[in-house]
Every structure is written in C-alpha cells, then in structure tokens.
Amino acid sequence: MDWSVGFVSVGVGYEGRGGRARCVRKAVETIDVAILGASGYTGAELLRMLAVHPNAKIAAMTADRSAGKPIGEVFPQYGFGSQFARSLPDLVKVAEVEDWSKYDLIFCCLPHATTQEIISGIPLEKTKVVDLSADFRLSNIDTYTAWYGEHKAPNLQKEAVYGLVEHKRDEVRDARLVANPGCYPTAAQLALIPLLKNKSISSSDIIIDAKSGATGAGRSAKVGTLFCEVSDGMHAYGIAQHRHAPEIEQGLSEVTGEDVLVNFTPHLIPMNRGILETIFVKTSESPGALRQQLVEVCRGLVPLHTSGSTFVRFWEMSKKACMPAFKHRRTRTNRSFTFFRKVYPRTRDTFVAPTIVS
C-alpha cells in the first residue's frame, strides 16, 4: 500500500484547477481513515482534502467537546446534503473508539503534548498513524524536553519518520508513524535543503523572516488572536524562543552533517491563513558571484528535489516580475517558491528566497 502518496498533508495526491481540487492519482483501493481532533482547523482542512481523494473513506472522527454532534454543526460547510457530507460519521470522544485496528490510517490533529499517550495505545502493527502535532517531530528526546516538556512515548519516537515527503518519500512510504512537519519548518526546509545539499549556500548566518496568518494558532479562543488584537497590525512573537526553530535546525543539520543554527523570527499578520517567509543566506561562492550561476543552480536543483510533488511550484524571478504574494496563489492547496539574487551595496554575496505556503 503506497499510502505516502496523497495522504500526508505535505505529500501529493491532488491538484487545484480553477479553485477546485482534482485527484491526480488513479484510485486503487479504499482506505478507512480515522481523524482524531476533527473539530479544529487542522481537522477541517484535512476533511476538505480527503473529500476529493478517491481512496479515502472517513470511518471515524473524534472531538471530545463536540462528541455526539454531526460535523456539520461544528463546520457548517460540511452540513449540506452532498454525498460526502452524508457519509461522514458523527463525532465521538477518543475514549469511545474501541478498536483502533479497524482503521488503515489514523490522522491525529490533537493539541501538542496530548498525542503521545494516545498513540502509545494504538497497535501500529495493524494501522498507520500520521501525527499533525509536534509530539514526534523532534528526534532528540532531550531537545524535545527542552522545548515542549516531558516526552511520554520515547520508544515510539525512535521509529517516527519526519514526514517532509518531498525529501523523505521512501521513508514515509514504509513508516508506521509519521510526524507531519510544522508550517514554518515546511517553508524553510523546502527552500533551503536543495541549496544546502548542493553546497551552494553557507549553513551559517541563515535569517528567516516569517509572516503567518492567525489560524496557525488554532481554533481555541485566545486574546492574542482576537479580531481586534490582530486586525490593522503586525507584530513579532516568539523571538529566539519559537518551537519551530529547533525543528528547522534539525532538518538542515541532517543535510549538512553539522550543527546548524538559524535566526528565525515569526510575525503575526492580519490574515486568516498562509505563510510568507523571506529567507536570507550567504552564498558559498566568492563575494560577487554571478547571479546567473545561482539561478542555474536553483533551476536545476529545485525540480530535482521536488519532482513528483504536486504541491510545489518553482517560480524564477526576473527584473520585470512582481514579488510573490498570497493573491498569486492558484489554489489554497499549493506551495509556491521563488528564488532570486538580490545584490546589496555591501553584501554582494547575499541570496534571498521568498517562500509562500498556503
């Protein structure tokens, strides 16, 4: 069963056309899917994607605070009379799921630090799990403890595969437990890994200036994400202490074989969804290296490292082209990447990579 194609949120499987999603893989078999934490934004987005997937059958959905309700009462867009909406089971509590082995694939969309104990009770020899929280992203237990607290399933961590599908497709295909990457780390790693692998850029002095919409903070009510707090403004947060920093550094260190530290600063902007990262790096060439050399490197490397990845788009900048913006997204299921060389008066070896994730 090649379940790495189309099911992992950073994987492939369907492509936007005219604002709608269409499957790009031939249906082979039906897979019974369970979604834990279906009442959050992550669960809603997952439902939207699985709704057009020919292989997925939603067999169970949990949401403890909304147990007993149909999903249409939580998200009205799923309350209309479509065949997909009518096929969805009512929400139940996690404790009410009696036999995990009935499901071929389980998505965990639960808050951080709540998934480890639940997955410990799931027979992974009979089913596969994709965890969309941060519970299994950091492979080093000590690093996890420093950033998130006690790890409650260290034995499972040993076999968890970091699910950046564009670079770990084979590992994901064979895994029983996949840790879905975070939002900021996805954008950063997909932009930087090809260039670091080719030794085209320096692994030091990497600066990631990131902007994110408010849904990344989750659906629970928080003062910091209220409309009046977010609207008409922008602010940095988590400076030098955001939990996605060690995740980015883990991926880049794995590629380079050395400890990589990044200067990562996220900002909250008045937008529902999406991420824009402007990444500044130093080239490994001598100062003043020709722009065209780097363009050729990117033109050859990025498609190579993302081949077969429907969600990734490479956009080469020109002098007349506009800067990437969220309004340029063809659909909300794609990531687009732009690489270009920006020459500054005193930093002629600076390379800039704007990256958009939706």
Catalytically active residues, by annotation: 183
Question: CA-to-CA distance for 73 and 330, rounded, in angstroms?
Answer: 30
| Closest to 162 (Cα-Cα) out of 127, 143, 189, 195 | 189
DSSP state of 340: E
What are φ and ψ of residue 306, in 5° steps? -125, 15
- What's the number of CA atoms in the CB half-sphere (13 Å) around residue 46? 29
State the burial class of residue 220 (Cβ atoms within 10 Å of its Cβ: 0-12, 13-18, 19+). Answer: exposed
Strand spans (E) along 18-102: 20-23, 31-36, 56-62, 91-92
State the burial class of residue 13 (Cβ atoms within 10 Å of its Cβ: 0-12, 13-18, 19+). Answer: buried
Q: Per-residue b/e over 124-140, b at no fewer than 16 CB within 10 Å?
A: beebbbbbbbbbbbbee
DSSP state of 201: B
DSSP for 254-296 reads HHHTS---EEEEEEE-S-SS-EEEEEEEEBSSPTT--HHHHHH
| Closest to 11 (Cα-Cα) out of 132, 127, 124, 180 | 180
Rounded (5°) CA angle 27-29-32: 120
Q: Which two tokens stand for residue 255?
A: 């590629």
Residue 130 near residue 143 (C-beta atoms within 8 A)? no
